[in-house]
A and B are shown apart, each in its own frame.
Chain A
């Protein structure tokens, strides 16, 4: 697991049925591109988060593939329609095989 990784999510606690809500996600990660060299001229190995997904009650909301040009601490903001009460599940997949997860519950009414 890369150092200092911490997922953060901002989601509303409740919404009306059918409402479109804004979700903000941020994960602290150095996103080393694999293109840089250290002071001795050796390539610093690539270490990035290569995929991010958000599901709501098992249904996929977004599924993002990431490549080395994404900057450090990747931030995503997107919208989702809330059909009924349930749980958001956010997942980040690291190059080294680590998986970081976060869940947020939304009440309806």
Chain B
């Protein structure tokens, strides 16, 4: 009898952490013990019809250990890549004899940039992502070879630039000339693809907080990109992640840097309007 009672108690105790795992947590993110981050925010106006109450960073869906890694710059493995990005920033490349530093001086000049990209570029007549802008600068102002769109060097540079805006709220513009691209991105977000017939929304809007086998589904926010992932021990770009996600629906994926992914990036970024820029963040 006593044994049974003990088993019941043990079962109850085991059940409690199980309950705690379902859904995101309520932890507070403070970086280096000083910078307070906004990781939960009210829905942006354009998401009135979305099947959710508030937007939140993917950080809330990770374990305490992974969360702690991001809260200390020494522990955050993404900072190694920021250092590499700093070397690239100062490296003179291309036919014009310029480095990034020639025109932009220190990377501090990039403060606020990450928060508003992707954005409409009047000259190019299209919505440009941060990666496109970096390569535009390399080709036209430096006379250098562009970086591979979602390669390591691009991720390093994006990490360096994102870090300058860390803690600032994401604020991408979706009206005016960007609206058309944004609508296209929205359509993609809600379109089911692949043999599994899944849209982004099926997992990241309808089912966030649930487990998809061993993985804890987040809202799919991209305010933390580029992301250091423990699974591949390197920085991952937004388009690299999109590609992985689309592949997981067993669909032919779009190419990193393609019009479709640029539109999707604008739309997904706008779903995070109000959250702090976290890049480089740490996820599993």
- List the interface of chain A (C-beta within 8 A of B): 4, 6, 8, 10, 24, 26, 28, 71-73
Contact with A along B67-86 (1 / 0, CB 8 A): 00000001101001001100
> In the complex, which residues of chain A have a beta carbon less than 8 angstroms from the beta carbon of B260?
none
Please, how many residues of chain B have a CB less than 8 angstroms from a CB on the other chain?
Answer: 7
Task: For the complex, give the distance between the alpha carbons of A71 and B234 in Å.
Answer: 12
Query: Knowing A71-B233, A72-B233 touch, does A6 contact B74 (C-beta < 8 A)?
Result: no
Task: For the complex, give the distance between the alpha carbons of A45 and B80 in Å.
Answer: 24
> In the complex, which residues of chain A have a beta carbon less than 8 angstroms from the beta carbon of B84?
4
Contact with A along B153-186 (1 / 0, CB 8 A): 0000000000000000000000000000000000
Q: Does the CB pair B233–A28 fall under 8 Å?
A: no
Q: Does the CB pair B74–A8 fall under 8 Å?
A: yes
Q: Does the CB pair B83–A10 fall under 8 Å?
A: no
> In the complex, which residues of chain B have a beta carbon less than 8 angstroms from the beta carbon of A28?
80, 83
Q: Does the CB pair B74–A10 fall under 8 Å?
A: yes
> In the complex, which residues of chain B have a beta carbon less than 8 angstroms from the beta carbon of A8?
74
> In the complex, which residues of chain B have a beta carbon less than 8 angstroms from the beta carbon of A10?
74
> In the complex, which residues of chain A have a beta carbon less than 8 angstroms from the beta carbon of B75?
24
**Main DSSP-derived SS at the A contact region:** strand
Task: For the complex, give the distance between the alpha carbons of A70 and B11 in Å.
Answer: 38
A36 to chain B, nearest CB (A): 15
When C-beta atoms are compared, the residue in chain B nearest to A27 turns out to be: B80
> In the complex, which residues of chain A have a beta carbon less than 8 angstroms from the beta carbon of B83?
6, 28
When C-beta atoms are compared, the residue in chain A nearest to B87 turns out to be: A4
Task: For the complex, give the distance between the alpha carbons of A6 and B84 in Å.
Answer: 10
Query: Knowing A4-B84, A6-B83, A73-B80 touch, does A26 contact B74 (C-beta < 8 A)?
Result: yes
Task: For the complex, give the distance between the alpha carbons of A29 and B77 in Å.
Answer: 12
A–B Cβ pairs within 8 angstroms, 15 of them: A4-B84, A6-B80, A6-B83, A8-B74, A10-B74, A24-B74, A24-B75, A26-B74, A26-B80, A28-B80, A28-B83, A71-B233, A72-B233, A73-B77, A73-B80
> In the complex, which residues of chain B have a beta carbon less than 8 angstroms from the beta carbon of A4?
84
> In the complex, which residues of chain A have a beta carbon less than 8 angstroms from the beta carbon of B233?
71-72
Task: For the complex, give the distance between the alpha carbons of A4 and B84 in Å.
Answer: 8
Task: For the complex, give the distance between the alpha carbons of A72 and B81 in Å.
Answer: 13
Contact with A along B81-118 (1 / 0, CB 8 A): 00110000000000000000000000000000000000
Contact with A along B226-251 (1 / 0, CB 8 A): 00000001000000000000000000
When C-beta atoms are compared, the residue in chain A nearest to B84 turns out to be: A4
Task: For the complex, give the distance between the alpha carbons of A26 and B75 in Å.
Answer: 9
Task: For the complex, give the distance between the alpha carbons of A72 and B77 in Å.
Answer: 11
When C-beta atoms are compared, the residue in chain B nearest to A77 turns out to be: B75
> In the complex, which residues of chain A have a beta carbon less than 8 angstroms from the beta carbon of B74?
8, 10, 24, 26
Q: Given A28-B80, A72-B233, list of 9 further CB < 8 A pairs?
A: A4-B84, A6-B80, A6-B83, A8-B74, A10-B74, A24-B74, A24-B75, A26-B74, A73-B77
